[in-house]
Amino acid sequence: MKLSVIIVNYNVKYFLEQCLYSVLNASGMVDTEVLVVDNNSVDGSMEMVRQKFPGVRCMLNKENVGFSKANNQAIRQAKGEYILLLNPDTVVEEDTFEKTVSYMDRHPDAGAMGVKMIDGSGRFLPESKRGLPTPSVAFYKISGLTALFPKSRVFGKYHLRYLDENEIHEVEVLAGAFMLLRKSTLDKTGLLDEDFFMYGEDIDLSYRIQKAGYKNIYFPQTRIIHYKGESTKKTSVNYVLVFYNAMIIFARKHFSKQHASLFSFLIHGAIYLRASVAILSRFLRKMLLPILDAALLFGGMFFLKEYWSRNMVVHYPEIFMLLAVPGYIVVWIVSVYLSGGYEQPVRLPKIIRGIFSGTILILVVYALLPEIYRFSRALILLGAVWASMAMIVSRLVLNTIGWKGFSLESSTLKRLLIAGGSEEATRVLSLLKLSGSAHNFIGFATPEPLVSNGSSRLPGEFDNFTVGTVDNLKEIIEVYKIDEVIFCARDISSNQIIRYMSLDTAKEVEFKIAPPESLFIIGSSSVDNPGELYVIDINSISRSLNKRNKRYMDVIFSLLFLAGSPLLLFLQKNPQGFIVNIFRVLAGKCSWVGYQLPDPAGRENLPAIRPGILTPLDTLKNHRLDPSTVSRLNGLYAKDYRVYADLSIIRAGLKNLGRKPALAA
């Protein structure tokens, strides 16, 4: 066995599938085995691998043991002369394995190798080649000198930007996303250090390889796509703590006590600085707009109150502005949040929907309050109108001035081009339509000319939408002002895709790849922005928006049931359980609607939601269904969630609202 490819997976099913397709395509010229170690994923990754890649060896962990330990598990069982550690969010070229292994065979002093990496927009990733993070290098990086003088041989050692990215170099550190290792080298250096849970293990191993007398080679004659940043967000506090803690472990292990202390001091300073910046930036990004909304709403309510009291000769106590109005504002803002009004890009109809829902909730609670606290329905309604106007106008202003981090959904659709053969490109277009994504479809770019011997080889509607061949992709993008290109991986090789992604086009373009026979299209528009994921089950109950809507509906129904309990109690088979369930749902212990449990296929195949009082079976008269039908009903509810589905189930099971939740049954 020449090569063992090891992939550690943790809840990145779609990236893993795309990666495995490219790996198998690259294995044709090299005797290769593929091992996937799964760190207790819950997204169905391993089921997908077993179904679509039966030749892949799978190793399943019952917990997330980390990157180093999982890789070591597979290395100990690997049979290859070479070991390739490969991230699941990568795509390799068809000749990547052949070129890299051939170079290693010709250069026995090379202990490890990395390749040129590009992101999902075709941009070079500087971490393809790195220097050792010594105290001085760390200081230059933390202080910002590296960013100011990236090409400097003194200040630019972190990413070695002074080295030509298109030439082979000996470097100090290789990236763990693609790390080709000679098995005999690992026998001398030892495996990955399991003290590193995630991050830093590649730096440690690179350093040990050099100390053992081998070279680390940066090899740009083949490239890979690395959808960097899918597993962690670099602005998160957790990332800062884990990454810099890994640097401290490395310093204590390899530097002298004096240097390690200095490094540790710098790193701890960086942790506090970066963590503070991360917390502040996340707070500002998430809270600045709601704070602005709260200020506008409070100011508007103040003037409305003054105007109304003067013209209607009504006196409002101080408690109205001190407690009632802030309460209204909180409900409106939370309602807008739950309706998706704060998601980027901002959609104005979601804001209106949120204000409307919040106003209904305020009026329901208002009706339950004692007379002394019912200040004015008119001001609530006028406030709702003002809230809608203020939020919409503020978004339009922010969009006009180009406020950083804010985007308003444009009515102009992305101009889309699909690159592939007739059958596959048509399938991808159908997939987009099924997913509900909105695009301005411009046409197809074929792998080769359509016309041969004066006649069309691919007749039909496909011809009418063909704008050229992929060899002219740059010109097509510029002439038709294309915003997004989807490559059909069945028809266009990874080599070609990566080459086309690296084209120097006049405008920024998003690139995505559609693996063959898959129900998804995936891509990354930038290092920090994974972009859109198009999949058939795009309205899965696991989507954050659907989770919020479901929780929102649970709260609304609980309050309505509480208000109507004097009447609803007479309908219930278990009146006492009905009252208990209202407070269970309000506390978030369960939901009014959930899965029918136990699921014969296993609950681990379903997205996690709160246990339900009612289930999809409540809409049916016959509850004695075979196990496969029960599983299908649960699956349909999970994969294509709609709020009206909950409404239908609650209406059908109105008499059973006192039933014990599924897990308590």
8 A C-beta contact, residue 614 and residue 659: yes
Domains in the chain (CATH in brackets) are 3-129+165-230 (3.90.550.10), 415-535 (3.40.50), 544-664 (no CATH)
CA distance linking residue 194 with residue 187, whole number of Å: 16
Q: What is the mean pLDDT of residues 208-220?
A: 92
119-123, 131-135, 588-592, 599-603: the lowest-pLDDT one = 599-603
Q: Name the band, by pLDDT with cuts 50, 70 and 90, for residue 527.
A: very low
8 A C-beta contact, residue 591 and residue 613: yes
8 A C-beta contact, residue 489 and residue 25: no
Specify which of 173-187, 343-357, 417-431 reaches the highest per-range mean pLDDT: 173-187
Q: What is the mean pLDDT of residues 293-316?
A: 88
**DSSP string for residues in 614-658:** E-GGGGSS-----HHHHHHHHHHHHHS--HHHHHHHHHHTGGGTT
Q: Name the band, by pLDDT with cuts 50, 70 and 90, for residue 621.
A: low
Q: What is the mean pLDDT of residues 405-421?
A: 77
Over 90: is that where the pLDDT of 25 sits?
yes
Over 80: is that where the pLDDT of 627 sits?
no
**DSSP string for residues in 337-351:** HHTTTTSSSB-HHHH
pLDDT, residue 530, reads 37
Q: Name the band, by pLDDT with cuts 50, 70 and 90, for residue 458.
A: very low
What number of CA atoms fall less than 13 Å from residue 299's CA on the CB side?
8
330-334, 559-563, 661-665: the lowest-pLDDT one = 661-665
Let me know the angle formed at the C-alpha of 585 by 583 and 590, rounded to the nearest 5 degrees.
130
Q: Which two tokens stand for residue 660?
A: 């014990």
Please indicate whether residue 505 or residue 441 has the higher confidence score (pLDDT).
441
CA distance linking residue 341 with residue 345, whole number of Å: 9
pLDDT for 219-263, tens place per residue? 999 999 998 654 444 445 555 555 566 666 666 666 656 555 665
Q: What does DSSP say about strands 484-488 and 415-419: parallel, antiparallel, or unpaired?
A: parallel
